[in-house]
């Protein structure tokens, strides 16, 4: 069995590829390297550099490599930027998913794991998000991920496609020092950038109705996310029952202040975060139940907050050393 990983040269996709290899499964990568990096690709794993919008090329890749299933990670992932670039977001995430599904249909491939997002829920004002929490995406990015889930559902009805969608929350850490989070919008890279450049990191609001006044969010280690993809792929291969979607959340969450404290401890760079204004529409708490994923995908939090920070920091420092000055 060989799995095609779209976006397999990106931060999350590269970890999924490594998890497949470690599980004794074969992987092939399709990535246009618009945000992925060639050094993230493990030795010996075939990489085809192309956009997922090229359906004919995808079809040929699937045929040439005898692909039996697809883990679809590729996409435009920046929720905030998607508000300014909705057409680009829909092209990459909706038209791109249609292209992947069309190529699969042409090749008779009937199993797919889809990289979805907590953004499909918007900003729910509840203690804990479950898979049945009403969907209310607040950005073109969130909308595009929800549409992706609908596409899989409808294709399942039409063709018998077997599928599941994994809804990520805040993915952090590194499972390989050679792979780091390159997003200019995620919390860890933003804080690391500030520390490396001698600036003081900022917290947006400290008067929320939470234990320490800062936002509480679900932070999950990228290796745990990758392991869930492998478990889902194996479940599909075995023709076992599978839910249409799973939350990959901690059930508890961590506050931004707790993250800042852990970063100061791990990096050895003491700092007191500056307090900025609240961001409009930012809810006090978004935490998800991972019970369904724990039941079916061996999902669990295998890393402490310090381990999440340390792995991310070590990968970042290695990247700094390897970047030509």
Q: Which of 121, 141, 168, 246 is catalytic?
A: 141
Q: How many other CB atoms are found less than 10 A from the CB of residue 226? A: 25
The SS3 assignment for 220 reads strand
Cβ atoms of residues 259 and 309 within 8 Å: yes
Identify the residue whose tokens are 């478990």: 231
Neighbours of 82 (CB within 10 A): 23
H/E element, 153: helix 140-159
Question: From the CB of residue 90, how many other CB atoms can be counted at a distance below 10 Å?
Answer: 18
Interaxial angle between packed helices 96-107 and 55-64, expressed in degrees from 0 to 180 and rounded to the nearest 10: 40
Residue 55 structure tokens: 């359906």
Whether the CB-CB separation of 25 and 1 falls below 8 Å is answered with yes
Q: Give the three-class secondary structure for 321.
A: helix
- CA separation for the pair 260, 266 (Å, rounded): 10
Q: How far apart are CA 295 and CA 54, in angstroms?
A: 37
Is 168 among the residues known to form the active site?
Answer: no
Q: Which residues are catalytic?
A: 141
């Amino acid at each position: 069995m060989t799995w095609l990983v779209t976006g397999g040269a990106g931060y999350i996709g590269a970890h999924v590829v490594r998890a497949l290899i470690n599980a004794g499964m074969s992987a092939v990568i399709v990535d246009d390297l618009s945000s992925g990096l060639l050094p993230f690709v493990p030795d010996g794993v075939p990489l085809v550099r192309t956009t997922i919008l090229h359906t004919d090329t995808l079809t040929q890749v699937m045929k040439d490599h005898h692909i039996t299933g697809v883990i679809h990670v590729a996409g435009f992932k920046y929720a905030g930027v998607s508000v300014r670039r909705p057409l680009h977001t829909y092209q990459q995430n909706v038209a791109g998913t249609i292209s992947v599904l069309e190529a699969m249909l042409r090749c008779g491939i009937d199993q797919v794991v889809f990289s979805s997002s907590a953004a499909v829920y918007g900003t729910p004002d509840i203690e804990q998000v479950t898979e049945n929490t009403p969907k209310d995406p607040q950005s073109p990015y969130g909308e595009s991920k929800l549409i992706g889930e609908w596409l899989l559902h409808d294709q399942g009805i039409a063709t018998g496609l077997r599928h599941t969608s994994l809804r990520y929350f805040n993915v952090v850490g590194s499972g390989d020092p050679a792979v780091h989070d390159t997003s200019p919008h995620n919390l860890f890279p933003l804080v690391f950038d500030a520390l490396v450049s001698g600036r003081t990191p900022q917290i947006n609001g400290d008067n929320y109705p939470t234990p320490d006044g800062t936002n509480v969010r679900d932070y999950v280690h990228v290796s745990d996310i990758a392991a869930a993809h492998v478990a889902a792929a194996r479940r599909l291969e075995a023709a076992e029952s599978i839910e249409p979607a799973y939350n990959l959340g901690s059930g508890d969450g961590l506050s931004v202040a707790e993250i800042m404290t852990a970063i100061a401890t791990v990096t050895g760079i003491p700092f007191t975060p500056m307090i900025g204004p609240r961001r409009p529409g930012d809810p006090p708490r978004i935490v998800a139940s991972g019970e369904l994923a724990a039941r079916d995908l061996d999902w669990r939090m295998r890393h402490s907050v310090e381990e999440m920070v340390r792995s991310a920091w070590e990968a970042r420092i290695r990247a700094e050393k390897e970047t030509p000055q």
